[in-house]
Structures are given as C-alpha cells and as structure tokens.
Structure 1
Amino acid sequence: MYINRKIHWRHKLVIVLSLLIFLSITGCSPNKQAHKTTLFALDTVIEITAYGEQAPRALEQASAEIKRLEALFDAHQKTSEISQLNQQAGLAPVKLSPETFAVLAQAQLYAQQSNGAFDPTIKPLVDLWAIGKGQETVPSAAAIRQSLSLVNFKRLQLDATTQTAFLLDKNMGVDLGGIAKNYILLQVRSLLAQQQVKHALINGGGDIYTLGQNPQGQPWTIGVQHPRNSQAIIAKVRLESWDQVATSGDYQRYFLVDNQRYHHIFDLKTGYPTNSLSSATLFAKFPAPTFPSSLCLILGKSATLEFIAQHYPHVQALLVDSQQQVTSTAALTAQMTISKPN
C-alpha cells in the first residue's frame, strides 16, 4: 500500500485570491493607504486589509475579536465552551455565551434544512479520521459505524430560555469547524463597518468578505482556485452583486492512499469523504443568510441546486465536479470568466 500524506490547508487558496484582488487596487492614493494584519486562527491564515484613517485601530480590534470568538468555539481548546459542552455529554446541560448559543442554533437549522447531511455533532467521526493530525490512515468499517452511531443532531438539545445546550449521549461531541469561521468573519466585517472603515477585504483561507468597493471605486475581483492545480484558477469573478464568498474543496485537507483521495468533508450516510464534487463556492450579499459551502460537497451538484432553490434562492453557486467541469447558477455566470480546466 502506497500512502502519500499530503495535507493541504485552506491558506493555499488565499495566495491566488489575494494576488488577483490586489492587482486590481494598486496605485491607491495616500489617504487610502492599505493597512493589513495577518494571523493564524481557526486552522487557517486570516488576512484583513482595510483602508483609511480608522483602519489601524479597527484591525487591532478585529484581531482581538477573532481570538476571543475562537476561544469560545474551538473544540480543540480544552477551555472553550464547545469543549465544556463535549465534556458534559450525557451528564448535564452547559450554560453558553450568546455567541456560542447563536452558532449552535444556526448549525441546528442547517442540519434540519439538510435532513442531517450537515450535522454539528460530527466530532466523533472527525476525530476518528484525524485528517491533518499526522499519521493519517483509513479507519476500519467497524470504527466508522461506531463513530456514526454518535452523530445525531437531534440528540443535541438547545434551550433558548436558559441559553444552555445538552448532548444527550455520552461520547457525543460537537465540532463547529463547518460554520464557526464564517460566523467570526462576518462579525469582523460588522466591526470594521462600526469603526467607519469604508473599504476592506477579509480573506479567511478562501472565505472572502468585502466592505464597500475597492479603493479605486471598482468592484472587487476574486479568483477561484483550480481544485487540481494550486497555481491556477478555474474562474475569475467580479463581485458586482455580492460581498460574501465561501469555498470548500476536497483539496484543502486530504491524504492519498493508493491514489485514492481522502479529505476532511464527510458523507454522513457512509462515514467516508464525499466524492461527487471537487469544490464549491457560494456567493451572497450581506446581510442575506447563506449556508456552509461544505454542504455542497455532501449533497452533490443536483441536490445542491435544489437546496438553494428551496432555502436560499438569493445565493449563487459555482460547483466543480470530480471531472473538473464547472456548473454555475444563472446570475453568477454573467459576472465570471471560466478558465479551461487542465
């Protein structure tokens, strides 16, 4: 058996996107000087670029807010509220902050809308595969079945009156990796706006949030990475109508065994990584709600388009299948340029 442990992290997408974006904003006037901060949080590199006199202070506050919220949501930090919830599984409800409760409630909504395709109680399966932790191997079928038996969003009780959450069964666990970053980056966007920042770009490993147009008064332009070529883009999109972009792909964290790709997004019907789409990118306009882009890889192309039509008709999608063929929703097609897949 040949094993190639090739773990790709989301920040590889940042390089391509940032290059395209900053090519469009060179030559800014001094009063629109770029101020930038970069930090590692939520298992990815987060870059925030803001313009104007208010930018330096706003960036300091944004960095502090990211760390504060990460400390609440990160299941890998022993003192986080999510870790406390997991430690009390099957024992007692846990009192939560308003932010943590809001994210869990949103996760439950996605789970209900998708009939469990998305499930915040996925931690036992995530821990079993341990992708990105080193020494990756394919678990046994029995171990996968055991982990799947502990994944059930209906066994996570939320009480809005007491702001508590309770995992009903021992060994259950919540992992908010599918949605925590988007929630946090949206809070950062709101914070920058409150600080009177007029132009900003937030890039969290390929999840993009913009504020206003770029300093030259033009819409921001982004590139979507080719799923099988980290140095190429598969599409370029002009953000005339959207300021939220979220991408998930099977190339972001994975390992290979006998040329079979095992990545970090799981089909909860089987317990194995999904295999119908290579990547999915969603576009929306703040403050309209969207949903986790990883759900597209779980649902597949046809079911994703049906899900959007039923629950999020304002969201536009760019889907790349396992053969690197691109499908996009109608409004998006008019504002993008597709590069021929290699």
Structure 2
Amino acid sequence: MKKYLKTPRVLRRATLLAMLPVFFLAGCGQKTECEKSIDTAMGTVISQTVYVTGNSATTTNSEINEKITDVLLQKLNDLEQKELSWRLESAEVARINAAAGEGQTSVSPAMSEWLGRCRQISEESAGAFDVSIGRLSRLWDIDTWAAAGDSGDYELPRQEEIAEALATTGWQKIQLEQQADGDSVSIPAEMQLDLGAVGKGVALDEILKTLEAHPEVSGAVISVGGSILTYGSKPEGGAWQIAVTDPLDPSESVGVLTLDGGHCVSTSGDYERYVEVDGVRYHHILDPRTGSPAHSDVAGVTIVTKDGFLSDALSTACFVLGQEEGQKLLEKYDAEGLFIDHEGTITMTEGMRQYFHLSNSQK
C-alpha cells in the first residue's frame, strides 16, 4: 500500500500545477550539437531540445541531412493525419466515427492496442475516463473557444442537449476484434470517439521509439503541450529539471521535478483551456458520467510514469476522480502522482516525493 503525503502551502490564491516547457539546461558542449525548436502540431505547442553526438546528419531510413527535431515533428504530424484526428478524413479515428453503426472497421495494430488500453482504464476508473465522449466534446467545443481567446459570445449547452449527447457514450459499447487476418473495431450509431485524452501521451511514446532508433541522440527533453518526455542524459551530466509553476501566476515557480531520462510527465487542470460565462469558469475536461466539465476536489494533477499513454490517460482520470479515488487508481498502475486542491494543499504519492521539490519561496 502506498503512503500519501500532504504538504500544505500558502499562496496568494488557490493554486494548481502546470508543467511548463521550461527546462534548466546547460549550453551544448563542443562535442555535442544541440538542436532546439518550437513548433505546433496536433493542435498544441511542441518544444524540443535534442542533444546529438558526432555527425548530426540523420541517415536512418534514407533521411539525409535532416535534423532530428524535423524528423520528430513530421512523426507527430503523421500521427495526427493518419491515426488520431477525428477531424481529418485520412485518420483512423475519423474513419471509425464515419462508420458508426455500420459494423466492423479495419484498424492498425497500434489503434487496436490504444483502444484496448482505453477500455481498460475506463473500467479501472469506473468510467471517469472514456474516449467515447466525442459528441459531448463537440457540443461544449471549449477547445475552439479557448484557442480563439475570446469567450464573450460563448453559449452554454442546454441540459437536454447534454443529455442527448451523453446517451451516445459508453466505453463498454466499443467492440474490438483481434483476428489472424487483422484487427477491427465497431461503435454504435451516433457514438463518436475522441482520443484527445491520450493523444499527447501516444505522441511521447512514438517520439521515444524514434529517438531510440537514432543512436546519435544522447539526450532530449520534449514537450507536447502539457506532456513531457525526458530521454537519455545531458552532456554535462545530472538529471533533467523541469520547472513546475502556478498557472494562475505563471511568473512564479512552485517547484521542480528532477528526473532521469525515460520518464513521461502529464498534467491536467482547469486552467489549460476554458471559457468564462457570468463569472463561472467552464474548462475542457469533461466528466463522462455527467456530460459536463468535471468538478472534483482538485484543481490540478501531475502524473509521472515511464509510459506516455498511461501518464496522459491517468492525469485526466485522476482529475475527474479527485484525490482519494485518483490515488487508488494510481496504485493499480504503480504510477506516481501529485494533486493540488483548491486550497493550495499538495498531496503526493510517496514515490513522487523523490522527484518533486518545492521552490524556496513556497516552503
């Protein structure tokens, strides 16, 4: 049984965690080239710092004189366009949605695995995590409004609309078949899948595979929105340090995660994407059980694992579940987590304590 440690702290207002793409990295050594880039892909900001030893030219798979950062960015674009997007007709998720109610749709082994893992986490979280909420996501459409930066004209969904969309959900209704001649999936009519809750985690796992295929990469730290991968080591040695800041006051750092290579970090909170109507904040993390933005006793959750898919999925599930039930879920997956409630109290697993250190100003 894991122990959970509570650390109260006093801030100017209720706080939550955000993982910022801010990395405390020393300059590249003479024998190591440092590639850095900030781009957009999969609807979010991609920040990369990659250390390449020896010849920086990439030759794997006939890629000549191409930077590793460019290779990784293309990998993410392919992931969105060919597999994860529900908007692009070329993607598997969009094809599954288009065939809702029409029987089995052939899918890649990777998609079959992802959906199988989604079903498992849905079951283990008692439905707090569910990728069948596509119609609810589109109904609220908070991502679009938040990206536009102006929620003045946002119109809340009516309760009857929420109930109608909620009736189309249900992870148990996602049917997977794995046979010798290929994998397939079927969903009922009206259901729509949305893998946004695991997309960034999937991206981290795919990035890791790509980095492992390039022996010239000695270390990297890569942020896909709120999810971060550490890989290998820094030229000067020492662990990777990732700043953790109060997103209600981004100029203030609340602490640092100190991690070796091979860790994935994901965070979920009500500060990431939201709209405000009549002084009430409506965020993008929906509770599949109610059809509305989740209301729990936590304002933010950060998960550390060595599995990107799992870190992403668990951060969403734990945010919806809250501290007590979220901690029980983490035990099932041997994952480490840190919760911040609306009073600013930090609750973390015992294992997380070895990674997270409060900044001096917050002690």
Pick from 104, 111, 119: which aligns with 2:130?
A: 119
The percentage of counterpart residues that share the same residue type is 27
2:3 equivalent in structure 1: none
SS of corresponding position for 1:251? coil
TM-score by length of 2: 0.83
Letter in 2 for 1:151: T
The answer as to whether partners of 2:205 and 2:308 remain within 8 angstroms in 1 is no
Partner amino acid for 1:77? L
SS of alignment partner, residue 199 of structure 1? strand
Asked if 1:326 is matched to 2:346, the reply is: yes
In the aligned structure 1, how far is the partner of 2:309 from the partner of 2:130?
Answer: 22
- Paired position in structure 2 for 1:83: 94
| 2:210 counterpart (184, 191, 196) | 191
Instruction: Determine the C-alpha separation between the residues in 2 that align with 1:159 and 1:213.
Output: 41
Which of the residues 120, 123, 128 maps onto 1:109?
A: 120
Contact 1:179 1:292 in 2 (8 A): no
CA distance in structure 1 between the aligned counterparts of 2:315 and 2:134, rounded to whole angstroms: 18
Are the equivalent residues in 1 in contact too, given 2:121–2:129 (CA < 8 A)?
yes
**Distance of 1:130 and 1:33 partners within structure 2:** 42
Deviation at 1:208, TM superposition (A): 0.9
The corresponding residue for 1:41 is 41
Q: Counterparts of 1:236-275 in structure 2 under 5 Å?
A: 236-240=256-260, 243-275=263-295
Distance change >3 Å, CA 130–CA 94, structure 1 → 2: same
Alpha-carbon separation, structure 2, partners of 1:272 and 1:287: 26
Number of matched residues?
A: 323
Query: In the aligned structure 1, how far is the partner of 2:302 from the partner of 2:55?
Result: 31
C-alpha distance in 2 between matches for 1:91 and 1:255: 36
**CA, structure 1 residues 306+325, in 2 after alignment: closer, same or farther (shift >3 Å)?**
same
- Within 2, Cα distance between the matches of 1:55 and 1:173? 43
User: Is structure 2 residue 316 aligned with structure 1 residue 306?
Assistant: no
| Mean CA deviation greater in 30-39 or 55-64 | 55-64
Partner letter of residue 61 of structure 1?
V
Partner Cα separation in structure 2 for residue 200 and residue 43 of structure 1: 22
Deviation at 1:56, TM superposition (A): 5.4
Going from structure 1 to structure 2, the CA distance change for 1:287 and 1:115 (only over 3 Å counts) comes to closer
Contact kept in structure 2, 1:227 and 1:279, CA below 8 Å: no
Q: 1:280 aligns with which of 269, 277, 301?
A: 301
**Given the alignment of the two structures, is residue 154 of structure 1 paired with residue 172 of structure 2, yes or no?**
yes
What is the TM-score when the length of structure 1 is the normalising length?
A: 0.88
Give how far 1:218 is off. 0.7
* C-alpha separation in 2, matches of 1:288 and 1:179: 6
CA distance in 1: counterparts of 2:177 and 2:278, whole angstroms:
47
Q: Choose the corresponding residue for 1:138, options 152, 156, 159.
A: 156
Amino acid at match of 2:178: A
**Does structure 2 retain, via aligned residues, the 8 Å contact 1:189–1:210?**
no
Cα offset, 1:242, TM superposition = 6.2
Structure 1 268/69 Cα, relative in aligned 2: closer, same or farther at 3 Å? Answer: same
More moved, 220-229 vs 246-255: 220-229
